[in-house]
Homo-oligomer: A and B are copies of this chain.
């Protein structure tokens, strides 16, 4: 079965990659239309398997089909990424030949779906959309958290592609952990995209680079998404910021890769108290599945038991799921034991970090590993803002000012990535239109006559 899927993907690579961009765009649009049309089938399935609320899932489906259409738009509207050097006999180191560079699809891509966005980062999510847009067949490894939804979505994608004339094997869904490993090791797979845990992603990364022929592995793994509040901002807008923080870290029951896991605030501010008050008002919300609920309980338990951590609000658990947990520590403690206190906690918990002065604030920023996002709440007059942003730019993929990292806009300029452990590929993004770059490889044509050049390179 896997063999059939891989052989079909391999056969589909050239015809799908050579389809004119407008044809691929039409196919992606048809996939989007088909998914929208199936909303009343897909949403209940997603709800049953993910426990996420109806409104959230409807919004996520809109985002997912918008994303497919945005990649389609780029295929037809963006300037093709080509460089043409005409021959130049006067070129200083010696006569220059005719050289024309374009990007070609890398070949079949294995995509590992995530659990927390059953539409936007799953079967028809950003990785699939960007790989198909780039001209690469996709073998999608379904997340075990929503198998039925994955099959149903996969059928719709496959059907819409078939109607659009895409070759057999352009898209298929497979299941199972062992089979996922086989995928990563198969010589016909030319790149891997993964969204999930640090542990799972690193294991697959290690496989991909262990191959006789290592391949690019685009893993979006984990992030703690620190939020820094300057003294001036805490003074001016303390209640508003504390409220926004709680809203952000409890959104989707805290199951976002951009959830703010560290809230770095002045020690003499009221922010922790204000946030704790808001947290106590929050209702329970179910987690995605049993495995995630167990992992969450373990991580929160370990973090809360740390000698330098105080529990400001202890979440309770019930059949409706956990209520949020708020913990606190000091910058000094974080700097002394960063490995333990910088743990990502997937679920509705976050850690307030109290700093005494701007030196400590900057030291916390400098202690960060790679992050998807780094946020500053500050005032225009803050002198610490510039050095703080300098530290963040070197460590994160997206820098936010007076905002919240949850909610990753699907746009042209979005960067959803960052140095390890945020991702395994710091030069790339998994959200936004530049996500296709992960699956495109440059080829230069030297003195190739017009009739043999790909159309985009001709005069």
Contact = CB atoms under 8 A, between A and B. Distances in A.
Contacts of A403: 97, 446-447
Contacts of A443: 393, 396-399, 415
Interface in A191-220: 205-206, 209, 213-216
A299 interface: no
A17 to B, nearest CB: 9
A247 to B, nearest CB: 15
Given A59-B93, A410-B93, A414-B99, A427 B440 contact: yes
B446 A398 contact: yes
8 contacts: A85-B412, A101-B432, A213-B370, A216-B425, A399-B446, A401-B446, A401-B452, A432-B444
Contacts of A420: 213-215
Nearest to A70: B92
A427 B411 contact: no
A447 B402 contact: yes
Contacts of A452: 385-386, 389, 401
A179 interface: no
A407 interface: yes
A456 interface: no
Given A421-B213, A427-B216, A442 B446 contact: no
A47 B13 CA distance: 48
A39 interface: no
Interface string A204-242: 011001000111100000000000000000000000000
A434 B442 contact: yes
A313 interface: no
Interface of A: 13-14, 59, 62-63, 66, 83-85, 91-94, 96-97, 99-101, 104, 106-107, 190, 205-206, 209, 213-216, 369-370, 380, 385-386, 389-390, 393-394, 396-403, 407, 409-415, 417, 419-421, 424-429, 432, 434, 437-438, 440-449, 451-452
Given A380-B451, A403-B447, A96 B426 contact: no
Contacts of A369: 213
A378 to B, nearest CB: 9
A93 B66 contact: yes
Contacts of A93: 59, 62-63, 66, 409-410
A427 B442 contact: yes
Given A106-B426, A426-B106, A445-B399, A101 B413 contact: yes
Contact of A97 (B83, B409, B442, B449): B409
A54 to B, nearest CB: 17
A399 B101 CA distance: 10
Contacts of A401: 445-449, 452
A397 B104 CA distance: 10
